[in-house]
Structures are given as C-alpha cells and as structure tokens.
Structure 1
Amino acid sequence: MNRISQLDSLRGIAVLGLLLLNVYYLALFETGYVQPSSPVISDSIIYYCNILALDSRFRSLFCMLFGAALVIQYNKNKDIEALKPRLIAIAIFGALHSIFIWPGDILFSYGIAGFLTLAYLQRGDKQVLTHGIALFVASCALLLLLSFTSTDTLINRQSYEFQEALLNAPTDLFGLLVHNISMTAVMLLMLPILTLWNALGLMLIGIYCFRQRIFTTGLSKMHLFLVITAMAILSTINVLIEVAGHHEYKGINESFVWLNAFFGALLITHLNAKAKGNQLWISPIQAVGKMALTCYLLQSIVMVVYFVWINPQARLSYNRIDYVEIALLGIGLQLLLAPLYLRCFKQGPFELALKRLSLKFA
C-alpha cells in the first residue's frame, strides 16, 4: 500500500470513527447523551468502550493527518504562502458548518491552528516534536485545571437541566440558526483558551510522524511497546476514576482520556501502516478517506436533519445502543456509497468546492 493510500485509509478510519462519538452531540449539543433515571446495562458497556477505545482518538488522528497534509503540500513547491488560501477556505467552511449545521465543528479550529503550524514547516524535527509534545501536554494540563472550576452536576432525564436543554433544543430552521450562533460564540471563546493549542500540538506531532515515515512504516518495536504500556496505565487510571463514582472527577478523567487518546491514535496509525493494501475491506475505507470532508459534513447534515425534524423525540427516548445503531448505519452507508461515487467522479463535492474557494484566495 503506497503512501497516499495509507493516509487515505487512516483518514477514512478517523472520519468514520468520529460519527460514533459525535452522534450524541448531534442530537443534543449542550449535554450530549444523558442517561435515563434507571440506566440500562448497555449504557455502561458502551460508555466504558468509548472512554477506553474511542474518545478523542479520531479527533487526534485528524489533527495529526492535518499536519502531515501540510507537509505534503509544502513539499510540492516549498512555498508557505501557497498554503494559506486553502487554510482560509477550510476556516470559512468550518464557520459556515458551525453556524448553519452544527456548532461542534472542527474545521474552523483546524484552519486557524494550520496557520500557526506553517511556521514549523521549515524547522527541524527535534524542535517540531518538542514543541508539539509541550503544547499537547499543556492543553491536557489546562483541561485538568479547568475541571476544578466546573460546577456541572450529574443529571439524568428527569433532571431540570436536561428538561430545559430539551425544551430549548432547536426544532425548526430559525431555532437551529439562533442555537448554532450562540453555541458557536461559546466555542470561539474556548478556541484560544484550550482547543487551539491542543490541535496545534497534535498537528506538529503529525508533521514529525510524517517525516519519520511512521504513517507508512509504523512504530519501532520499542516505541510500540511504550505506546501500549502508556495506554495500559492510562486506561487503568480512567477506569479507577470512573469506578470511584464521583461526578466531580469526570472533568479530571477527561484530561487523562486526552492523553490516552493520543497513544491510541498512534496505535491506530501503526496498525494501519502494517495493514496490507490488497485486503478487500481497506478499499471502501480509503474511498471514505479520499472524500473525508464530504463525509464529515454529510454526517452532520443528515444527523441534524434526523434529530431536529424527522425524529426529535429520539433525544428523549434513545439509549446509547440506539445512538450506536444509527451511527453504524451511517458508517455502513458511507462505506457503500463512497466507492460508488468515486467510480463516477474524481473527488467529493465538498472537496471540489473547497478547491474552487481556495483558488479564489490564491
């Protein structure tokens, strides 16, 4: 499997995995999933699977891949200025996505972090890696500090907080726009405080990984051992904090989840690099990766339409297993339709729109 195919498959894994985690917040952005007053056992099973194997892994992968993509584009003509129009276009796409579809957008922050990443494309590997790790660890530490200021309380579907969120949830186009604009403002406030530096750190690590051919050859045996060991230790910490059962520890655990997710992303990268390209199951994932922007945006559009207009009652009635089922249905459709689409067209519709918008800023 050549270099481009490996990056495509990894990008496909990332965009498909995101849906498994975003689906709760696509239904109700303010709270995500809220358990019933009498939780079912499947809720607990899926919750632990999420924190141990899924949470933040795919977002981390996307950030690292974004850094790798900047290196690839820079290597074409060694012109940093030529990369800026695309980053502007990505930020515009993100802003439009956040305002009109879903405020949990990642594209805007990637576009902004990408501008900061440009300064590192001509720097040495040691500085790129050192700064990347420092920024990532600092963002995790900052998240830990912020968790001590949180006043959130544990809620269920009988709680006043959930009922209020449900009452204020958008049910029409105007309500959706008002909701998205207000939530986008909140997300913009968090950008320079936390999310920007986390994304930047991971992008720099992605640059280093690309230069060291980790995306294509995988980790060394020693590094693989260290990654697995770190995951085992952090997963144990995650479980112990959850078992402690104190809601105030939830924010503390989130910072350890971020750390664990980074090592999880490295493990996924390694396994993807070692996969054989002629295996039948890889081709559909690569197709999704080739049109990752289209798949990502369509995930939001379809799910928002479903939860706002088609089945708003799902916010009240769905358990975790129901959300997983609808996410798996979406994943299956993407794996089926992306290869069929690419038989007729060279790139996804939103990829084409991004390219044309980038040319306007060139």
Structure 2
Amino acid sequence: MSTVEQAGSVPIEDAPVDTPESSLVPAKKAERIGSLDLIRGIAVMGILVANIVAFGQPFQAYMYPEAFLTDHGPASDWLLVAQFVLIDGKMRALFTLLFGAGLYLFMERAWARGASRRLQMRRLFFLMLFGMIHFYLIWLGDILFYYAVIGFVIVGCLKWSAKAQLWTGLIGYIFGALLYATMLSVPYVVSETSIGESEEMAPMRVDLDRGKAEALAESSRESALIQSGDYFGYVTLRATEHWYEPLVNVFFFGLESLPLMLLGVALYRMGFFSGSFAPRKMRLWGWLGLTIGAAWHLALALWAKGDGYTYYGMLAIFVGWSPIPRLMMALGIAALLVEYSPQWTGWLAQRVSAAGRAAFTNYLGTSIVMLFVFHGWALGLFGELSRPMLYVVTALTCALMLAWSKPWLERYRYGPLEWLWRCLTYGKMFPLKR
C-alpha cells in the first residue's frame, strides 16, 4: 500500500495561503485505490439502471407506474420490485459515499503537495457549474449540483477526527431517515387510507390529490415537449419555471447526502476502502447488511405491489421508509466489494474499474446519449418503450461504457471530462495523451 493510501499519512493542516496551487499536479495512476474505481464503476452503471425509466418515460413514472405511457403489465410490476430491492437508492448511496471519500482523498494528496482547501473549493465550484449545465440543458435528474453544494459543507469538516465524522454521519443519517419517514408517512395515511376520509382530514386529502394531479400534469407537459422534439421549449421550461429545483434538491437530498459523504470521509480515513479492516468482519458485516437490507426492501416492495402501487404509497417507500435498509445495503455492498475485488483480475473487472476511473464522463455522457435516444428531434423513443425494453437500452449503454473506457484510458491519462475538470481546477492545461 502506498503512503497516500494510508489514513493519517499526511498532516491534516492547510498549507500557507501563498502556496502556488497552479504548480500542483493531479494524482498519478499509481496513487489510485483500486477498490474505489471498481465500486465507482458499478455505481455509475447502477445509477443508469435506476434512472432509465425517468429518461425514457415521464419523470413521475420513476416511482409511479401509472404514469407510464406504455402498458405496465405483470412482468413490469415484478421488474419494478427487483429494481427497488437491488438498485434504487443503493447505487446513489454508494456514489455518495465514494464522493465523500474522494473529497478527502483529493485533499490528502493536495495537502501532501502543499495546497490548501481553496483548491477543493475551486474544484467543487466547477462541479457545480457542470451540474447546472446538466440540469438546464440535458436532464432534470442531475445530482452534481447538490453534490457540489453539500461538498462545500463537507470541506469545512475535513479536519475533524475520523471518529467525529463517523458518528456525526451516522446520527445525522438516522435523524434524516426518521424525518423522511414522518414527512412521507402523513401524505400516504391521509391520501390512501380510510383515515383521510374523516371530516378533519378531508381538506388535507383534497390538497394532496390536487398536488398529485399538478405533479402528473407538469410531468406530462415536459413529456410532450420531449416527444415533439422542441428542445428549445424544453430548456426554456426548465430555465424559467423550474429554475429553483437544483436548490430544492440541496435541501431535499441534503439530509441523506451530507451524512453519507461524512461517512465516506470517515471510512476512507479508517482504511475501509484500502483493506485495513479485518477480512472476516468485512465479510460478516457485508453479508449481514446486504441480506437484512434486501429483505427489508423486499417486504416494502411486496407491500406496495399488494397496495396497488399508489402514488403516495410509492413515494413513502422510495423516500420515507427505505433509508435505513438502504444504508445497510450500501455499506454491505461496499464491504463485500472491498473484500472480494482484489481477487477479480479478469477482463470484466478491469473494464468496470476503467468505467469507474471515467465515472464523471460516463455519468454525464450517459445523459447525453439518452438525449439522442429518446428526444423527438433524434430517435424519438421517449414514451415508446416498456420497462423491459428500457432495460435493453440500459444494457447496451452499460456495454458502451465498458467498451470505450479501458481503451481510452490506455491511450489517455484521464477521461475527457475528468481531464477538463482537472484543467479548470488547477487553472492550467495538462497533457491528455500518454
């Protein structure tokens, strides 16, 4: 293990403010931690599996099958169960943990080179700009903007002890999970159960029904613009009537993402990702977290299916009732990947790791590919494909990620957007070709 991989291997102190950060260089390939790249590669492909419905069908269809513009039959219902149990939320949680780890990893190396946290702030500023471009010009499901904004908060916590980061992350996550559960349980109880039929609850039920109708109508409006090929109209709608949504996402996802990033920082510093934990414990806790979390998710999914996939019921299980088992599964998956990945040296593992090294390009690149696949001015498949067919598109796109990433990185030092982000961060041009 190289010294840069060891928690606490560099002082947790900022460099003097007059350090010439433009003279710094990014991390070399030899300084990378293999497990991070592999997990990141799996996460970026898993995020596509989670998001494909929102790419190819109205955004509300992500959680509410009735919003599909195609038939959502029994096979699709069971595929929804499988996706909820195995994918939804877990890949984003993994990505968020790794983002936190990456924040500290970047600063650990920057501190070793004599930089201050100003370099990280500059890096996050440009990530925020990328997120705004993604949201307003490409796809409304952007996570980069709120990752960057929350990342600014995490930067202020990087000098805490790893123990303080760990416990603050855990307590903060549990608090957020309880708050989400409370906030999302009330709409379900009022709107979807007999309790909402009482005279006292009737006004709230009317308001909730109105909110549901407005959300579905707005989703249909955006869908019509996509199907028509009116890209300018689609962008105008996002910029004029939905300009505030990236800020809303900061608060909506903040109670989950901020604690997860802190946990990622703490786990990295404690050696979780570099194999410093006892293998037996990693396997034990990994399988326990994965099994218990999956069983919990399955119970929620089967309940929702039996309940008829109601609007507020689905919102409750996706956002309100699944954060705790989601954390269990995300940590379990991460532990098992860290423990078993050193044995995976075949061509597939190499390509997944390469996709992880180019995760930024793959994440934004996927959204751009989906523009051409679904928007009316291109292939025009929006609203035309059933859930099973959307998974075919997902498989082909993941195959594309695996196909290009490794050959590219054998010839070039970074992924295209990774290179651009580094150049902007350091304020200088770096050679791209090896």
Per the TM superposition, whether the score is higher than 0.5 is: yes
1:297 matched to 2:364: yes
| Counterpart in the other structure of 2:224 | 167
| Counterpart in the other structure of 1:60 | 93
Q: Is the contact made by 2:283 and 2:335 (CA closer than 8 Å) also made in structure 1?
A: no
Query: In the TM superposition, what is the alpha-carbon distance from 1:317 to its structure 2 partner?
Result: 2.6
| Counterpart in the other structure of 2:406 | 339
Q: Which has the higher helix share?
A: 1
CA distance in structure 1 between the partners assigned to 2:40 and 2:307 by the alignment: 36
Change (3 A) 1:28 1:187: farther
1:89 matched to 2:122: no
Alignment map for 1:301-316 (pairs within 5 Å) = 301-308=368-375, 309-312=377-380, 314-316=381-383
1:323 matched to 2:390: yes
Q: Is the contact made by 2:119 and 2:425 (CA closer than 8 Å) also made in structure 1?
A: no
Amino acid at match of 1:241: W
| Counterpart in the other structure of 2:54 | 25
1:109 alignment partner, one of 146, 163, 170: 146
Report percent identity of matched pairs: 24
- Deviating more after overlay: 87-96 vs 259-268: 259-268
Query: In the TM superposition, what is the alpha-carbon distance from 1:15 to its structure 2 partner?
Result: 0.7
Greater C-alpha Rg: 2
| Counterpart in the other structure of 2:11 | none
Q: Which digits, 9 at most, give the CA deviation of each residue in 1:126-147, with x for residues without a partner? A: 2211211222223333333332
1:201 matched to 2:259: yes
CA distance in structure 2 between the partners assigned to 1:229 and 1:31 by the alignment: 29
| Counterpart in the other structure of 1:12 | 41
Secondary structure in 2 aligned to 1:61?
A: helix
Query: In the TM superposition, what is the alpha-carbon distance from 1:282 to its structure 2 partner?
Result: 0.6
Q: Is the contact made by 1:60 and 1:261 (CA closer than 8 Å) also made in structure 2?
A: yes
CA distance in structure 2 between the partners assigned to 1:199 and 1:58 by the alignment: 12
Gaps of 5+ in 1: none
CA distance in structure 2 between the partners assigned to 1:97 and 1:112 by the alignment: 15
CA distance in structure 1 between the partners assigned to 2:359 and 2:261 by the alignment: 17
1:181 matched to 2:243: no
Amino acid at match of 1:239: A
Amino acid at match of 1:338: S
| Counterpart in the other structure of 2:308 | 245
Q: Is the contact made by 2:286 and 2:332 (CA closer than 8 Å) also made in structure 1?
A: yes
Amino acid at match of 1:245: G
Change (3 A) 1:167 1:81: closer
Amino acid at match of 1:10: I
CA distance in structure 2 between the partners assigned to 1:202 and 1:122 by the alignment: 17
Gaps of 5+ in 2: 3-31, 189-207, 429-434
Amino acid at match of 1:178: T
- Deviating more after overlay: 178-187 vs 285-294: 178-187
CA distance in structure 1 between the partners assigned to 2:171 and 2:348 by the alignment: 37
Q: Normalization by structure 2: what TM-score? A: 0.75
Amino acid at match of 2:379: N
Q: Is the contact made by 2:58 and 2:220 (CA closer than 8 Å) also made in structure 1?
A: no
Q: Is the contact made by 2:288 and 2:332 (CA closer than 8 Å) also made in structure 1?
A: no
Q: Which digits, 9 at most, give the CA deviation of each residue in 1:10-66, with x for residues without a partner? A: 111111111111122223453235346853222012101111010011111111001
CA distance in structure 2 between the partners assigned to 1:38 and 1:336 by the alignment: 33
Query: In the TM superposition, what is the alpha-carbon distance from 1:107 to its structure 2 partner?
Result: 0.8
Q: Is the contact made by 1:288 and 1:335 (CA closer than 8 Å) also made in structure 2?
A: yes
Change (3 A) 1:45 1:189: same
Amino acid at match of 2:313: Y
1:123 alignment partner, one of 151, 160, 167: 160
Q: How many residues align?
A: 358
1:227 matched to 2:289: yes
Secondary structure in 2 aligned to 1:281?
A: helix
CA distance in structure 1 between the partners assigned to 2:71 and 2:392 by the alignment: 21
Q: Is the contact made by 1:51 and 1:238 (CA closer than 8 Å) also made in structure 2?
A: no
Amino acid at match of 1:360: G
Query: In the TM superposition, what is the alpha-carbon distance from 1:164 to its structure 2 partner?
Result: 4.6
| Counterpart in the other structure of 2:102 | 69
| Counterpart in the other structure of 1:357 | 424
- Deviating more after overlay: 23-32 vs 337-346: 23-32
Q: Which digits, 9 at most, give the CA deviation of each residue in 1:59-96, with x for residues without a partner? A: 11111001111111222243323311111111111111
Q: Normalization by structure 1: what TM-score? A: 0.89
| Counterpart in the other structure of 2:79 | 46
Q: Which digits, 9 at most, give the CA deviation of each residue in 1:218-263, with x for residues without a partner? A: 6535533541454155224413431233613222212233332222
Amino acid at match of 1:328: A
- Deviating more after overlay: 324-333 vs 99-108: 99-108
Q: Is the contact made by 2:287 and 2:332 (CA closer than 8 Å) also made in structure 1?
A: no
Q: Which digits, 9 at most, give the CA deviation of each residue in 1:249-298, with x for residues without a partner? A: 22221223333222222122122112214233210001111111111111
1:260 alignment partner, one of 303, 321, 325: 325
Q: Is the contact made by 2:81 and 2:302 (CA closer than 8 Å) also made in structure 1?
A: no
